[in-house]
Amino acid sequence: MPNVRLTLPDGTVREFPQGVTALEVARALSPRLAAEGLAARVDGRLVDLTEPIETDASVQIITPSSPEGLEIYRHSSAHLLAAAVLELFPDAHPGVGPPTETGFFYDFYREKPFTEDDLAKLEAKMQDLVAADLPYERVYFPKEEGLKIFEQKGEFLKCQLIQEKAEPVFSAYRTGKFLDFCRGPHIPSTGRVKAFKLLSVAGAHWKGDERSYPLQRIYGTAFFSKKDLDAFLAKLEEAKKRDHRRLGKELDLFSIQDEAGAGLIFWHPKGGIVRKEIEDWLRAELVARGYDLVYTPHAMRLHLWEISGHTNFYRENMFGPMEVENDHYQLKPMNCPGHILIYKSRPRSYRELPLRLAELGTVYRYERSGVMHGLLRVRGFTQDDAHIFSMPEQVEHEVEECIEFAFQVLKTFGFDQYEVELSARDPKNSEQYAGTVEEWELAEGALKKTLERMKIPFKTMPGEAVFYGPKIDLKLVDAIGRPWQLTTVQFDFNLPRRFGLEYVGSDGRGHTPVMVHRALLGSIERFFGVLIEHYAGAFPVWLAPVQARMLPVSEKHLEYARRIAGELRAAKLRVDVDDRNEKLNARIRDAQLQKIPFMLVVGDREAQSNTVSVRRRDSGDAGAKAVSDFGAWMRELIDSRATKW
């Protein structure tokens, strides 16, 4: 039998018999490597450890420390779940079961709903299958033969997938009694799954189509060690405590009203105060940085979205159109066409560029009911949107200024960690994007050079660009280590050309400007949701809806409490008085539950000395302070926008 030459990750070349498997290669290299191996990468392609290698190739064994390791492991954990479901609930019909960033899920069609008790039973059955150490066995079927096998099993969802996606000969994986149409790869056996947990059951729809089969989605997670699993579950519990939907209700910040419609946010007075503070800071910064503030209509003629290309590339996410006087109008999903019309309203000179137009503009986008999530995924929201019209030679500087502005946002609102991604086009699907290859190379190069010049680490994400240009995404990392996508800076050479934008250059001729789309907070709603969870509702003093609460010891101290509250309010501080006929300790506890930064207790001693006894929400008694001193301290915390004190 001839040999094959295999190149290992360190560059060495070893010869093995033709048909050798990656597992056999691993055993020859190191027993430990064979024991840790999950899958292999052969000439860049991920394969099972048991797949024969027939030609010369580069070979890398995938282990738990490999970037792909956890994803493969979780994919196999999803198959383990499906195998357990079919053991206990043979009336369930499996759909799809991919890995996710935090674990995995598997969708099932079943008339009877799964319960929390069912999850416990399924976990126990999964443990039984782990103990059985069943192989993830890869098998191949000609398409028609395989289709008949799945038809005989009554797996109508799998049959749809096979008809749509299967090659003439396709692969499937057998795990115990479970057979799944799947490309793999998978870990060698169920015995390799060491630490997992089923988390919840939620509703879903087949292929995300609300008109299709209703499904039940079982969520789970898996890690290579119990220690990592326990740390994740502890983080999950902390996230539940910080859930902005629960805190939004408890703190009376916002609501979503079924009577009005899903995904539409009602800002309550306290939430409105926080929003005002965010917007006031942002508008002041915009003006200081040379932006012009504009306002555009909520609905405009559909013709604009046809020119922009949104009706071709974005139609399924748009509300409308509406017919008005024999014309069609569209609720705006984006602010850009409105800003373009302002630019186009009169001739422009190169001396005016860059022109920076900013708007806190409310937009409307259709999101399926299954993906909406409190403030984080909604149908109506306000973007802190800006569009910068510049000459090509100015664009790198403008992108750099946008990124620096984004860092200022992070610092101001108390975030000190972030991740940066450069979203590029997918060269294999050029038809998805507007513009020429040369324009895309120019745009991607400009963004890349800017990040490199600023010495900002970033990750390139092929295929993640929007249809009109590449973009830089900045993800902030919150207090418990979760990344949130908010800031985006997008290069656009497409819309200025589509709308016929021009400026008169120094040569007296017309030129097409370059356009940068920029959002820093992403949307006010999403940013507010992230803020709630980052601070667990305990906002810094400058953002807190109520900054201090007066707590008179008894009714006879009420007049003094109201007078001091009036003085502090006159100094532009947000202070209220709890004059309820409740015990002082109960009122202190209520103020702490409402996460008010300061509680000001006043009795005989305070009234006589014109002081307040200060209690901090985080550390309790802070002693007595003169009213003027307390007011000055508060003003310093607010003006400095302190996030810790």
Nearest in space to 541 (alpha carbons), one of 570, 571, 575:
575
Tens of pLDDT, residue by residue over 213-249, are 999 999 999 999 999 999 999 999 999 999 999 999 9
In the residue annotation, 365 being an active-site residue is answered as: yes
* pLDDT score for 411: 94
Per-residue DSSP letter, 428: G
Tens of pLDDT, residue by residue over 269-287, are 999 999 999 999 999 999 9
108 pLDDT higher than 80: yes
Pair of tokens at residue 69: 């390791």
Q: What's the burial of 366, exposed, middle or buried (CB within 10 Å: 0-12/13-18/19+)?
A: middle
In the residue annotation, 280 being an active-site residue is answered as: no
* pLDDT score for 209: 78
In the chain, how many domains are there?
Answer: 4
In the chain, what percentage of residues exceed pLDDT 90? 81
> Which residues lie across from 214 on neighbouring strands?
205
* pLDDT score for 156: 96
* pLDDT top residue among 463 and 130: 130
- Catalytic residue (one of 217, 348, 387, 595): 387
Three-state secondary structure call for residue 549: strand
In the residue annotation, 336 being an active-site residue is answered as: yes
Q: Give the predicted TM-score (pTM) of the model.
A: 0.84
Residue 257: inside a domain: no
Asked if residue 428 and residue 332 are part of one domain, the reply reads yes
- Catalytic residue (one of 107, 180, 384, 385): 385
Cis peptide before 597 (omega within 30 of 0): no
Asked if residue 433 and residue 402 are part of one domain, the reply reads yes
Tens of pLDDT, residue by residue over 129-149, are 999 999 999 999 999 999 999
In the chain, what percentage of residues exceed pLDDT 70? 100
Report the Cα 444 to chain-centroid distance in Å. Answer: 23
Count of residues making up the chain? 645
Average pLDDT over residues 115-128: 96
Give ∠ CA 377-340-281 in degrees, rounded to 5. 55
Asked if residue 184 and residue 279 are part of one domain, the reply reads no
CB atoms closer than 10 angstroms to residue 468? 24
pLDDT band per the 50, 70, 90 thresholds, residue 1: low
Q: Read off the CATH number of the domain in which 572 is found.
A: 3.40.50.800
Residue 253: inside a domain: no
Residue 255: inside a domain: no
314 pLDDT higher than 80: no
pLDDT band per the 50, 70, 90 thresholds, residue 439: confident
Cis peptide before 354 (omega within 30 of 0): yes
Asked if residue 611 and residue 478 are part of one domain, the reply reads no
In the residue annotation, 387 being an active-site residue is answered as: yes
Nearest in space to 542 (alpha carbons), one of 395, 641, 419, 416:
641
Tens of pLDDT, residue by residue over 487-517, are 999 888 888 999 999 999 999 999 999 999 9
pLDDT band per the 50, 70, 90 thresholds, residue 437: confident
Amino acid letter, 297: P
Cα separation, 57 vs 79, whole angstroms: 29
Pair of tokens at residue 145: 């033969």
Cα separation, 625 vs 603, whole angstroms: 13
Asked if residue 55 and residue 11 are part of one domain, the reply reads yes
SS (H, E, C) 25-60: HHHHHCHHHHHHCCEEEECCEEECCCCEECCCEEEE
Tens of pLDDT, residue by residue over 397-431, are 999 999 999 999 999 999 999 999 999 888 777 77
In the residue annotation, 518 being an active-site residue is answered as: no
In the residue annotation, 471 being an active-site residue is answered as: yes
* pLDDT score for 422: 93
Nearest in space to 173 (alpha carbons), one of 42, 16, 51, 312:
51
Q: Read off the CATH number of the domain in which 102 is found.
A: 3.30.980.10
Asked if residue 99 and residue 43 are part of one domain, the reply reads no
324 pLDDT higher than 90: no
Q: Strand ranges (DSSP E) for 182-326?
A: 195-205, 214-223, 254-256, 265-267, 292-293, 299-301, 322-324
Amino acid letter, 559: E
Cα separation, 489 vs 81, whole angstroms: 40
Residue 77: inside a domain: yes
Pair of tokens at residue 529: 């949701």
Average pLDDT over residues 291-309: 92
Pair of tokens at residue 601: 């207790």
- Catalytic residue (one of 197, 242, 310, 336): 336
471-477/483-492 β-pairing: antiparallel
With contact defined as beta carbons under 8 Å apart, do 61 and 8 qualify? Answer: no
315 pLDDT higher than 80: no
Range of the domain at 624: 548-639
- Catalytic residue (one of 93, 517, 518, 625): 517
548-552/598-602 β-pairing: parallel
Asked if residue 56 and residue 74 are part of one domain, the reply reads no
Asked if residue 489 and residue 418 are part of one domain, the reply reads yes
With contact defined as beta carbons under 8 Å apart, do 579 and 552 qualify? Answer: yes
3-state helix, strand, coil in the chain (%, to 5): 40, 30, 30
